[in-house]
Amino acid sequence: RIMRPDDANIAGNVHGGTILKMIEEAGAIISTRHCNSQAGEPCVAALARVERTDFLSPMCIGEVANVSAEITYTSRHSVEVQVNVMSENILTGAKKVTNKATLWYVPLSLKNVNKVLEVPPIQYTRKEQEDEGKKRYEEQKLDRLETKQRNGDVILPVINPEPHTVGYSQSSLIHLVGPSDCTLLGFVHGGVTMKLMDEVAGIVAARHCKTNIVTASVDAINFHEKIKKGCVITVSGRMTFTSNKSMEIEVFVDADPFVDEARERYRAVSAFFTYVSLSKEGKPLPVPQLLTETEDEKRRFEEGKGRYLQTKAKRQAQMQQAAQ
Amino acid sequence: RIMRPDDANIAGNVHGGTILKMIEEAGAIISTRHCNSQAGEPCVAALARVERTDFLSPMCIGEVANVSAEITYTSRHSVEVQVNVMSENILTGAKKVTNKATLWYVPLSLKNVNKVLEVPPIQYTRKEQEDEGKKRYEEQKLDRLETKQRNGDVILPVINPEPHTVGYSQSSLIHLVGPSDCTLLGFVHGGVTMKLMDEVAGIVAARHCKTNIVTASVDAINFHEKIKKGCVITVSGRMTFTSNKSMEIEVFVDADPFVDEARERYRAVSAFFTYVSLSKEGKPLPVPQLLTETEDEKRRFEEGKGRYLQTKAKRQAQMQQAAQ
Amino acid sequence: RIMRPDDANIAGNVHGGTILKMIEEAGAIISTRHCNSQAGEPCVAALARVERTDFLSPMCIGEVANVSAEITYTSRHSVEVQVNVMSENILTGAKKVTNKATLWYVPLSLKNVNKVLEVPPIQYTRKEQEDEGKKRYEEQKLDRLETKQRNGDVILPVINPEPHTVGYSQSSLIHLVGPSDCTLLGFVHGGVTMKLMDEVAGIVAARHCKTNIVTASVDAINFHEKIKKGCVITVSGRMTFTSNKSMEIEVFVDADPFVDEARERYRAVSAFFTYVSLSKEGKPLPVPQLLTETEDEKRRFEEGKGRYLQTKAKRQAQMQQAAQ
């Protein structure tokens, strides 16, 4: 698909959210197809989790996005999909890897949305593939349990905030869920949610550093709760941490089934997005330091620093491994 | 929400219709939420009327629109909502008020769309708030009755019109109502209708003066008739009046439920839009005078002049009051 | 890409225009890539012509569209692309051919849009492939010259038309060309134009027979004139012919570069669309006969009948050939 002006910011860089949406659509197609490949109850694959995703190089208006997806592991009730996105400049022929993402889907019955069906097993060419997949499966399962605890936080408005404080850049948007946002089951596509999250996180980042910003990475996102057609969703973001050249933004998605009295507003998803600030030539710019005021803000800053250092250490370990 | 290229004209000014659509969505959410806040039949708030709205300053691509809504009055069967729109340049931090709008909603039962439900009363902090709200309620009720009479007019085509005549710039479009245009009840969102109306009015204005034009204000709009999913709607506009620096365009919306033979095509909405013409530097330009030919056109021109002078007098009175 | 509610009519059938738009995007990508595959001036491939296209089976909401494109012939200044569309029901795994289309593109210089560049030749595996391609090239060239003559017609409005007359169902829409409608050169994508044409033709068909209608085929479309960003385009359609079970609708696209006073409104494209009417079970329904009134309408009806009989004869010849 050719990238259009509406897919990009004013500097012409395609929004990370647009890319996440394409990735999720590819993942939903391949896993729904796989889960229906054996006779049995028809089902729709619902996004359960996206692993941490790095945006390796920005995509621009007019480039073509090539998205390819492959199933790499199946457990009894879940499917792991790896999606690669390449950007292609069809004028010069240049191709670049934009990102590689790993997604987990769960098949839900078309007749009874609360019933999780069984996944037909895939064939592995080597035994190690299965073992490594199983290890990834166990890891993500643990991590999902953890985030389920953490979900209670709320973003409160601040009056007359100072520049570079948390309150100064925090933002939120509301969106009324329409039919084209939803799957056949009438629940919001995970990709639609991620696109809105990236939109809010991008506004927070731009408010903080007042320059052209692009998505650098997204931490693992767990989808604990489905969001139904007709809900109002509120997406809120606040900055949690800044390093010299990056910003970390926490984003919450709350769903409000406001015509359905049976259910209260609830937290559907939360995630951390990392942004960098770019000059007109595409070089990373220094980021103004986040001013933390309350105890909670200071604690979140330290936690963000922990995540930042951990990621940095991991990346260095990978580079050393690759260099050997 | 960040303003995108498709939200704006080629000069980069966001369409008034895009702003009206955001305003209406915010109003629909807050009033639907309020009307469902007490136990009882679930309902969806349907737009009944938008008061006259002025566009105080143009919004541009890349700016963030901040929309806030508040319920300011409730009668037995209707809700008054005030919506403020601020545009924020996230690069400079500059904020401007774009508009303030007042909308009236009516709760319709989710089970029986022809049943109007009761509205839970709001608490007023001062008795005067309630009295003033009641006064506004009575005024709009009267005005709604009046427009109901006026709705019969039709725009007739003209062959080979001269420049600057009414026939030269008149325009119409048709639109097939899709699922994303509709509320949970399957009727077109008022905001979608207003966006189409602004689109036609803008084309009429641009055809007349062949320059960059922006919406300056919209007169009160009454929504007497719902429009159902699957209808074809015809939106037509003709110029009625020009002052030195503004143009007034009358817009009609007709709905044609063409797969439902039981019902004939009917007039759903009509309204007056005012546009100004801007130079590349954003300064108002003189507008070519409208050439009226028939008796009807001359009468409508005089009526438009009446509305223009009345609005001007009101504004001067307000400014004098504010200056005291 | 998964088909969404917004891509389809209320009976759930995907609009022919949505499919034509996907086809054209695939064609534009593959031919732009090919024309830039050798060192030289960068260029963008612009749609010059789409051959007659049959819609073999309807596509539905929730199905996945698989679009594949291949370059099948190159002349000195043009590229022939064949595009196949398959619809896949990912729940059952069923796949069906939706259509096969042939498109012709011309490479325009990115620096000077009026300069047509040379096309790098492709390699043919067999000599006959080249000869057959050349024959198709010569045929389409002749046909393009012919339609260039025919383009002068205008659709005149009718007051109070009777049901089933030409005037009763004729329709037109206007559309302001936005940035997302355009290629890198700032001209409207051929696929966007075809989608609007199908929208108008579908409304004409539905107004005539007041049932669920689907696109059955589109006659060859020639794109003689580019349409620039910021133009207003008027798309008008009128019924020309009805057989027992099909309707032929002629569609005109006129572009009005209204901010650019140097150029008058001009005819950009015209084409014939054929529709069938379907029952709730998807069976073709009889179509009410078109009532022709004027001499011109009678002449166009006879011409439409000619095209209908010619197509029918060709199809029978193909079926006999296939049966041998």
CB contact under 8 A, B179 and A176: no
- List pLDDT tens digits, range C47-63: 999 999 999 888 888 88
CB distance from A61 to chain B under 8 Å? no
How many Cα atoms are found within 13 Å in the side-chain-facing hemisphere of B253?
Answer: 30
Out of A162-176, B3-17, B117-131, which region has the weakest mean confidence (pLDDT)? B3-17
pLDDT at A218 over 90: yes
pLDDT at res. B243: 96
Out of A120-129, B146-155, C52-61, which region has the weakest mean confidence (pLDDT)? B146-155
Out of A42-46, B292-296, B316-320, C100-104, which region has the weakest mean confidence (pLDDT)? B316-320
For residue B215, the cross-strand partners are: B275
10 Å Cβ neighbour count for A115?
12
Torsion of CA A247, A252, A253, A258, to 10 degrees: -140
Select the highest-mean-pLDDT range: B54-68, B204-218, C299-313.
Answer: C299-313
- Residue C314 distance to chain B (closest CA, Å): 34
pLDDT band at residue B259 under the 50/70/90 scheme: low
pLDDT at C238 over 90: yes
pLDDT at res. B242: 97
CB distance from B44 to chain A under 8 Å? yes
Kindly name the residue from A181, A198, A219, A254 that is annotated as catalytic. A198
CB contact under 8 A, C6 and B206: no
Torsion of CA B17, B23, B26, B27, to 10 degrees: -120
Name which of B171, B178, B210 is nearest C259 (Cβ-Cβ): B210
Name which of A62, A91, A180 is nearest C6 (Cβ-Cβ): A180
Q: Please report which residue ranges of chain A form alpha helices under DSSP H.
A: 16-35, 127-150, 166-169, 190-209, 295-323
Q: Which chains touch A (3 or more CB pairs under 8 A)?
A: B, C
- Name the token pair of C291: 């009532």
- Residue A313 distance to chain B (closest CA, Å): 33
The one-letter code for the residue type at B304 is G
Q: How far is CA A202 from the centre of its chain?
A: 13
C39, closest residue in chain A (CA to CA): A92
Residues of B in contact with C180 (CB under 8 A): 5-6
pLDDT at res. C151: 59
Contact B219, B52 (CB under 8 A): yes
C28: left (phi over 0), alpha (psi -120 to 50) or beta: alpha
Name which of B10, B178, B203 is nearest C229 (Cβ-Cβ): B10
SS3 content of chain A, % helix, strand, coil (to 5): 30, 35, 35
pLDDT at C315 over 70: yes
pLDDT at res. A144: 84
Nearest C-alpha neighbor of A169 from the set A201, A209, A207: A207
- Please provide the DSSP assignment of C55-75 as one string: --S--BTTPEEEEEEEEEEE-
Q: Average pLDDT of B164-184?
A: 86
Size of interface B-C (CB pairs under 8 A): 73
Q: Which of C71, C91, C182 to mutate to test the interface with A (most CBs of A within 10 A)?
A: C91
pLDDT at res. A107: 94
The correct CATH number of B2-140 out of 3.10.129.10, 3.90.1150.10, 3.40.50.150, 3.40.50.720 is 3.10.129.10
Average model confidence (pLDDT) across chain C: 89
Name the residue with higher pLDDT: A221 or B10: A221
Residues of B in contact with A259 (CB under 8 A): 32, 36, 42-44, 110, 184
pLDDT at res. B89: 86
pLDDT at C322 over 90: no
pLDDT at res. A138: 94
pLDDT at B226 over 80: yes
Out of A219-228, A314-323, B217-226, which region has the weakest mean confidence (pLDDT)? A314-323
**H/E element holding B129?**
helix B127-150
pLDDT at res. B151: 59
pLDDT at res. B246: 96
CATH superfamily of the A166-323 domain? Hotdog Thioesterase (3.10.129.10)
Length of chain C: 324
CATH 3.10.129.10 positions along chain B are: 2-140, 166-323
User: For residues B259 and C280, what is the distance between their CA atoms, to the nearest angstrom?
Assistant: 13
pLDDT at C181 over 90: no
pLDDT at res. C85: 94
- Residue C258 distance to chain A (closest CA, Å): 23
Residues of C in contact with A43 (CB under 8 A): 91
User: For residues B128 and B139, what is the distance between their CA atoms, to the nearest angstrom?
Assistant: 16
CB contact under 8 A, A260 and B179: no
Residues of C taking part in catalysis:
9, 198
What's the order of all strands across the beta sheet hosting C79-88? Answer: C64-74, C79-88, C95-109, C43-50, C221-222
CB contact under 8 A, A179 and B180: yes
pLDDT band at residue A146 under the 50/70/90 scheme: confident
Query: What is the predicted ipTM?
Result: 0.75
- List pLDDT tens digits, range A162-177: 999 999 999 988 888 8
Q: Average pLDDT of C84-112?
A: 90
B66, closest residue in chain A (CA to CA): A173
pLDDT at res. C152: 63
pLDDT at res. B236: 92
pLDDT at B10 over 80: no
pLDDT at A153 over 80: no
pLDDT at res. C308: 95
CB contact under 8 A, B178 and C6: yes
- Residue A314 distance to chain C (closest CA, Å): 35
Three-class DSSP category at C276: strand
Name which of B5, B156, B210 is nearest C179 (Cβ-Cβ): B5
CB distance from C259 to chain A under 8 Å? no
pLDDT at C262 over 90: no
Contact C97, C84 (CB under 8 A): yes
- Name the token pair of B199: 């689109």
pLDDT at res. C260: 62
**H/E element holding A86?**
strand A79-88
Average model confidence (pLDDT) across chain B: 88
- List pLDDT tens digits, range A263-297: 788 899 999 999 999 888 888 999 999 999 999 99
- Name the token pair of A212: 């052209």
Name the residue with higher pLDDT: B181 or B9: B181
Nearest C-alpha neighbor of A37 from the set A118, A131, A146, A104: A118
Distances (CA, A) of A182 to A178, A188, C279: 7, 4, 27
Name which of B172, B173, B210 is nearest C258 (Cβ-Cβ): B210
pTM equals: 0.83
Q: Average pLDDT of C226-235?
A: 87
For residue A214, the cross-strand partners are: A276
CB contact under 8 A, B2 and A202: yes
Q: How far is CA B101 from the centre of its chain?
A: 10
Residues of B taking part in catalysis:
9, 198
- List pLDDT tens digits, range B43-92: 899 999 999 999 988 888 888 898 999 999 999 999 999 999 999 887 78
User: For residues C211 and A251, what is the distance between their CA atoms, to the nearest angstrom?
Assistant: 47
Name the residue with higher pLDDT: B196 or A264: B196
Q: Please report which residue ranges of chain C form alpha helices under DSSP H.
A: 16-35, 127-150, 166-169, 190-209, 295-323
In B, residues 82-121, which contact A (CB 8 Å cutoff)? 90-93, 110
pLDDT at B225 over 80: yes
User: For residues C284 and C205, what is the distance between their CA atoms, to the nearest angstrom?
Assistant: 14
- Name the token pair of C109: 């210089």
User: For residues B74 and B61, what is the distance between their CA atoms, to the nearest angstrom?
Assistant: 36
Residues of B in contact with C172 (CB under 8 A): 172, 174
The 8-class DSSP code of residue A45 comes to E
- Beta-carbon contacts of A151 under 8 Å, excluding residues fewer than 6 positions away, are A224, A267, A270
CB contact under 8 A, A173 and B1: yes
Residues of A in contact with C68 (CB under 8 A): none
pLDDT band at residue C281 under the 50/70/90 scheme: confident
pLDDT band at residue A72 under the 50/70/90 scheme: very high
CB contact under 8 A, B203 and C179: no
Kindly name the residue from A9, A66, A84, A89 that is annotated as catalytic. A9
Select the highest-mean-pLDDT range: A129-133, A227-231, B5-9, B38-42.
Answer: A129-133
